[in-house]
Structure formats: structure tokens, C-alpha cells
Amino acid sequence: MTNNLDFLKNDSLTAASDLLGCYLEREIDGNIVTVKIVETEAYDQNDAASHSFKGQTERTKIMFGPAGYLYVYFTYGMHYCCNIVTDKVGVGSAVLIRAVEPINGIDMMEKLRRRQGIEISNGPAKLCEALNIDKTLNGHDLSVSPLKLLYNQSIPKEDIVISTRIGISKAKDELKRFYIKDNPYVSRV
DNA sequence: AGCGGGATTTTCT
DNA sequence: GAAAATCCCGCTT
């Protein structure tokens, strides 16, 4: 496991695959909460379903910035979702984190979610609540506290499944969703 | 097990 | 003014 995030400078599809198995380390009130990324979706500028499709706006400018930063957006009037910015500066691309597996600090996450088991983090808005991620972390540098991304090249290629994306109305059929085979926290099979 | 609706606010047309 | 990268609850089969 390393703190070198250079792999995020690749295109979003490559980065989405490489992010599987990586750890997120979140500090909440002096406690460390750790999770493993088990499901991702790639978004880039040529994708009608991407927030960056129509060019840079006040909301999406983070996606056009350097790789390794967090892009948080608010949706459906009540939920946050978080993305990891990828590719070069000037390219509007990011990877949506759709599901994570709790590793450490499970008590804290159960409390924040008021749920247990897979209901802690088997969906994009759920894991944001479990990690206490909101708009104040939009644009956060993932190499520093209170939210760090740690690279972990632990998932063999044959355990990575590629499929169509979820929860969008445009460009549904594109194969841009990646998840770890048989992991119980994956949001949907 | 599966369907349908409500919550609720930011963003862009 | 409508749609949105979602989730949860309650009702029906």
C-alpha cells in the first residue's frame, strides 16, 4: 500500500479499474475510519451522462483540475456522492465511488448511518454518509488528512467485473462500471 | 420480492 | 421550472 497517487493521472476508465481495492482513510473526531473501494464508475468529458459533458461550470470545475482531488456533489435534494478526479488538468473526468467495504471504525459508521451490515456502505450516497462526507470536502486533496486515498494493488484482473452503469438516464449502455467479483458490498449485480 | 412514491435542493435551461 | 450519477418506506403480490 502506498500513498503515490500517480495512477490517477490516467484516463478515467483505467483509473476506475485501478481504484478497486484501494483504501480510504477518514478522520472523524480524532477517530480513524478505513474502508476498501469495491465498486466504481468512470465519467469523462465525451460522456453524455457526465457532469463535465457540457464543459466546465462553477459546479464541475473540480473535475477539470488535477487528479487526486475529491469532487462531491449534492443530488435528489438529500444525498451527497463522491468522485475522485482523474486524468490531466483541463480534462473533465472523474470516478464515482459507488460502494466500499468497512475495514476499521465500523462502530462509527454504524452510528452515522443508523444501519448495520451491508447497509452501511453499499451505495454511493450511503458511503458518503458513513464517512461523513459533505460539500465541505469538495476539492479536498486526497493525499492529506482528514481524508486520504491509499493505493493498494491487490485485486487480480480475473476478480474485476466490468458492466453497464447504474442510476443514470443517458448513455446507460456504456461499460464503465467496475466492481470486485462476489464482494457483498457491491450495490447491485 | 417487487413496485411506487416521497423527500428536498442544487444546477442548468 | 424540471431534472437529477439516490435512498427508504410502505403497500401489493
The reply to whether A60 has its C-beta less than 7 Å from any atom of strand B is: yes
* Local confidence band at A147 (pLDDT 50, 70, 90 cut-offs): very high
Q: Is the peptide bond between A184 and the residue preceding it cis, with omega within 30 degrees of 0?
A: no
Residue A9 DSSP SS3: helix
Rg of chain A (C-alpha set): 15
Averaged confidence pLDDT in chain A: 96
Q: How many CB atoms lie within 10 A of CB A23?
A: 19
Average pLDDT on A147-167 reads: 94
* Contact criterion met (CB below 8 Å) for A72 and A134: yes
For the whole model, what pTM was predicted? 0.96
* Local confidence band at A142 (pLDDT 50, 70, 90 cut-offs): very high
Among A63, A186, A167, smallest CA distance to A127 is for A186
Residue with cell 468497512: A102
The separation, in Å, between residue A56 CA and nucleotide C6 C1' comes to 24
| Measured distance CA(A38)–CA(A97) in Å, rounded | 8
Average pLDDT on A116-121 reads: 96
Average pLDDT on A53-69 reads: 97
* Local confidence band at A154 (pLDDT 50, 70, 90 cut-offs): confident
- Give the cell for residue A72: 462531491
Q: Which residues touch strand C (CB under 7 A)?
A: A 41, 43, 49-52, 63, 71, 73, 75-79, 81, 83, 94, 96, 113, 115, 119, 123-126, 166-170, 187
Check residue A1 and give its pLDDT: 82
The separation, in Å, between residue A102 CA and nucleotide B1 C1' comes to 27
The reply to whether A61 has its C-beta less than 7 Å from any atom of strand B is: no
| Measured distance CA(A61)–CA(A55) in Å, rounded | 9
Q: Which H/E stretch holds residue A96?
A: strand A94-104
Average pLDDT on A28-45 reads: 97
- Give the cell for residue A159: 476478480
